[in-house]
Amino acid sequence: MLIETIDNQLNKKKFQRRHAGKVVMVSGASSGIGKALAIELLNRGFCVSLAARRDEIITDYLHALYPAEVCEKRCFVVRTDVSKEEDCKNWVEETYRHFGRIDVLINNAGISMRGLFEECNLDVLRRLVDVNFWGVTYCTHYALKYLLESKGSVVGVSSIAGYQPLPGRTAYSASKAAMQGLLTNIRIENRKKGLHVLIVCPGFTASNVRINALDKNGNPQGETPRDEGKMMTAEEVARHMIWAIDRRKRSLILTPLGRLTVAASKIIPGFTEKVAFSYMAKEPNSPF
């Protein structure tokens, strides 16, 4: 019901007029939520600058879905590893040079992990922090002057793990909590400058994030421990996010369980930690 309401609101001509010609940057756009965002944004008239390490995947699906005129006028693709500062700076500067403005930065790129802290190779923890925290830091730092110029939006795709740490996912939880702290601080510092900051917690979403999650030794997990068919689709998440950006929301927590978890973690933290442990222990091949 909610997604139908959002679709109706997003389809209004007023929405199209309000955002015509606006430029949205999306990291991690080769698959999952990032790909879904790219498609939804293009379908709604935005211009997009898309980044990923495997930029050829983005180019392939764009040319498969849209005519050459759309790809040339409203799409810009840059190979970017968000864990590298120079890559992030280049993506931002090339986007501004290409379109002449930046209205929204969606920090979507991220990786997950699964393994006990005591058993994890420290390089795995560094890698997650480099992507999930420093990637957001680099991109936001270099895009901020352009976003202030347009009174635009900074968006961070986070997780409930940023509020309530998940056992067996130490670096993931820590990196998302750090990212939320960063973006919240940026919001406060720029509260009189017209900058909008949105933190999104999608909940479990059907995507490649669990398949590509790292194990304790830094190798891709290669399979998902959860039933992807029962999860919210990346396309649904993308539509919710575009609605929240349009409404300039502060936060977006997409599942009832997520909202309950966030509230409970503040009121009854000890009990919430116990529940989190039990919940994650029920996963197939759980380390607990």
Active site residues: 172
Strands 251-253 and 23-27: unpaired
One-letter amino acid of 169:
R
Rounded distance between C-alpha atoms, residue 128 and residue 172, angstroms: 6
For CA atoms 28, 156, 170, 208, give the dihedral sign.
negative
Q: For residues 111 and 108, give the distance between their C-alpha atoms in angstroms, rounded to a whole number.
A: 10
CA atoms within 13 A on the CB side of 18: 13
- What are the CA-CA distances from residue 164 to residues 60, 80, 180 (Å)? 38, 30, 12
Closest CA to 240 of 155, 183, 136, 180: 155
Residues 6+ apart with CB under 8 A from 239: 3, 6, 7, 10, 40
**Distance of alpha carbon 109 from alpha carbon 252, whole angstroms:** 17
